[in-house]
A and B are shown apart, each in its own frame.
Chain A
Amino acid sequence: MNLQLGRLLGCVLLLSSVSFYACAGDTTSVNKHNSADDVVLKLPEGFTAKVFAEGLGHTRHIAVNTNGDVYVKLSNLKDGKGIYRLRDTNGDGIADNITGFGNIKGTGIAIKNGYLYFSSDEEVFRYKLDGNNNIINPDKPEKIVTGLLSRHEHEAKAIALDNSGNLYVNIGAYSNACQVSDRQKGSPGMKPCPILDSAAGIWKFSADKLNQTYGDGVRYATGLRNVVGLNWNTATNSLFVMQHGRDQLHDLFPNLYDAKQSAELPAECMYELHQGSNCGWPYIYYDEFQHKKILAPEYGGDGKITAGEDAQDPVYAFPGHLAPNGLLFYTGNQFPQKYKNGAFIAFHGSWNRAPEPQKGYLVAFLPFKDGKPSGDWEIFADNFSGSPELTASGRAKHRPCGLAQGPDGSIYVTDDSKGTVWKISYIAK
């Protein structure tokens, strides 16, 4: 009897929580549910999300071809394959033809001028696509860049291409704050920081020359701790990047920062780059509350002293530690006008806010006008984690990572935790 009563109660609770989500729909609408798991994305009114594919493992960045073929790059091989092509042959918004190829794991992927580019943690490759948009020779990619530094930390080589034959590669710092001994309490910052010569920046290579190394490329921008989300903005004709800000202010400097300050500082910054840009790492970080570049404590800072006069200011500052892993400037015509040329950012979600509640696991939107942010950021897609509790504990079911736009103006979001790919479209007129 008791057991039955319990079950009944459980059912009622479950039902009421389901209807709660449904009711929350006066400002948000929910996705058509076609997936094995119970996560329902929350989206602005008029938008819908479909699970395009799932169970693909660690799906990182994503690229969509002009014919609608979707390619995802995996940081762990799934069934021995490092890239999957997801094809929707009947146009129902769900991939029905899925094939894997290549045995190289990594993060970066992009399509340009009939080639599919992708990266491992040390190299960049490409495949030629034929007239039917199939890959020629899946076992033999061309090697474009080789020998990039990959030392454990910030190893992912995210890539972007411009429209003038250039390839941009992130080479993340193999360090948190360039201390003599990484992440060691009491270890001073190295000055000058030797990491900046070969990492902690964006390097530019030719998109068409084979087997390039550091010597063939140029250091395009420096002072960037680590970038995973980057995108060529065709409206400004410039490269935009999202930096992952430094960690552990409280762990390393408990006398200067309490746990709460450490959870919120520094900001995750968006930068617009040009040849020679310097964003200031490791000497400074950006404080979004004081709106200032602050001298890093490893270099004598106390949380107030400003520095970095030679470093550029961010285009925009987001809350700390949300981990921006994907950046996309929206150029489609499907979404309402306010989204045009604006930025979508996939926030992978924090870990370094502990013991404070974790945050993130969402896709943000930042409106742009005339090449500059024209308002505050807002949450575009939420509840990847599954619930507010799973967000707070950091045990998110899904973690957004890559973003891409399809030829119909829908956008795709990857999750590198369970390998779900969502297709988000605007349906209200």
Chain B
Amino acid sequence: MRIVRSSTLMCILFVLSAVVMSQISPKPVKQRNKLAASIERGKKVYADQCLTCHQADGLGVQNMNPPLVKTKWVLGDKKQLIEIVLKGKKDGVEIDGDSYSNVMASHADLTDLQIADVLTYVRNSFGNKAKAITEAEVKTVRAKLK
């Protein structure tokens, strides 16, 4: 058996506990509940408004509707992402050399909260991990479009 020096042990313990701590409380409880609630509502909006084209698993449809998995639009600039939902899109995205022939209509009839929720859901599903989008952020982008 090898003897482990106590300083090394302490070190390992310290790192371990830091990892555990960061896992349990990165945010206040209230904020986490808020995020979970937004994702929950967003899931319903997604099922109603986006699922037919982008599919239940977010992987889209070959050469028709693009995937929503770790794309530069989903994970990138919030303003640009909000604009896609408000204005629709048909300029032709290219992902890994594939293009998509369908068009995405504007979803400006959704409320600011619905858009914030659906995008928060998308940014936290299908293997994505990105900051939530707030109602206020959608409101700001919508105001600038008018």
Contacts and interface: CB of A to CB of B under 8 A. Distances in A.
B101 A184 contact: no
B109 A352 contact: no
Contacts of B51: 354-355
A395 interface: yes
Interface string A52-83: 00000010000000000000000110000000
A182 B105 contact: yes
B90 A152 contact: yes
B140 interface: no
A58 B63 contact: yes
B120 to A, nearest CB: 21
B97 interface: yes
A245 interface: no
B47 A154 contact: no
Nearest to B49: A251
Contacts, number: 57
B103 A351 contact: no
B109 A355 contact: no
Nearest to A154: B101
B56 interface: yes
Interface string A394-419: 11000100000000000000001100
B101 A399 contact: no
A181 interface: yes
Contacts of A417: 62
Contacts of B105: 181-185, 187
A155 interface: yes
B40 interface: no
A393 interface: yes
A383 interface: no
Dominant secondary structure at the B interface? loop
Interface in B32-54: 47, 49, 51-53
Interface residues of A, number: 28
Interface residues of B, number: 26
The interface centre, meaning the residue of A58, A187, A354, A355 with most chain B CB atoms within 10 A of its CB, is A354
Contacts of A187: 105
A75 B62 CA distance: 12
B12 interface: no
B64 interface: yes
Contacts of A416: 62
Interface string A173-191: 0000000011111110000
A354 B101 contact: no
Contacts of B76: none
Interface in B18-77: 47, 49, 51-53, 55-57, 59, 61-65
Interface of A: 58, 75-76, 152-155, 181-187, 247-248, 250-251, 351-352, 354-355, 393-395, 399, 416-417
Interface of B: 47, 49, 51-53, 55-57, 59, 61-65, 88, 90, 92, 97-98, 101-106, 109
Query: Shortest 9 CB-CB distances between A and B: which pairs?
Result: A351-B61, A184-B105, A183-B105, A354-B52, A251-B52, A182-B103, A152-B90, A155-B101, A354-B55
21 contacts: A58-B63, A76-B97, A152-B90, A152-B103, A153-B102, A153-B103, A181-B106, A182-B103, A183-B104, A184-B106, A186-B109, A187-B105, A251-B52, A351-B55, A351-B61, A354-B55, A355-B52, A393-B56, A393-B57, A395-B57, A399-B62
